[in-house]
Amino acid sequence: MRPENPDRPDVAQSVRDEQARQKETDRERRARLVKVLVGLGIAIVLLIFITSNSQGVKVHFVFFTRRPPLIWVMFACAVLGGALGYLIGKPGQQLTLRRRSKGDDKKK
């Protein structure tokens, strides 16, 4: 959409607003792409590391002992660590949001 008269302040402002929105959208897309690429890189390194360590290891569980391949022990640790990190990280954000909303209610 091209403005008919760029000298008019309302048309010029809407063009600037549209350009700012486009720049923000481009920044968000680039940030998302970087996050995906970093995640893929970490996953690839992890998979290479795990597959290169496929020998059996002795694992002592609470009531029994098994000898699974190291690949499965490392994979289970990675999955459990990721899940634990996700669960620990999420409640902190929710508590922060709740605290802010309670504080806003007290100010009114």
Regarding whether 79 and 48 lie in a shared domain, the answer is no
Count of H-run helices and E-run strands, the chain:
2, 2
pLDDT of residue 8: 66
One domain, residues 101 and 83: yes
- Domain extent, residue 15, equals 1-52
Q: If DSSP codes are grouped into helix, strand and coil, which group holds residue 69?
A: strand
pLDDT in tens, 2-55: 555 555 668 888 888 888 899 889 899 999 999 999 999 999 998 888 778 888
Give, in order, the Cα–Cα distances in Å from 34 to each of 23, 25, 39, 49: 17, 14, 8, 22
Same domain for 60 and 48, yes or no, is: no
73 shares a domain with 36: no
- Report the pLDDT value the prediction gives residue 38, as an integer from 0 to 100: 94
Is residue 68 within 8 A of residue 54, CB to CB? The reply is no
Phi, psi at 65, each rounded to 5°: -125, 135
Are 1 and 39 in the same domain? Answer: yes
Same domain? For 64 and 98 the reply is yes
Q: Say whether both 3 and 32 belong to one domain.
A: yes
Mean pLDDT for all residues in the chain: 80
Evaluate whether 71 touches 55 at the Cβ level (below 8 Å): no
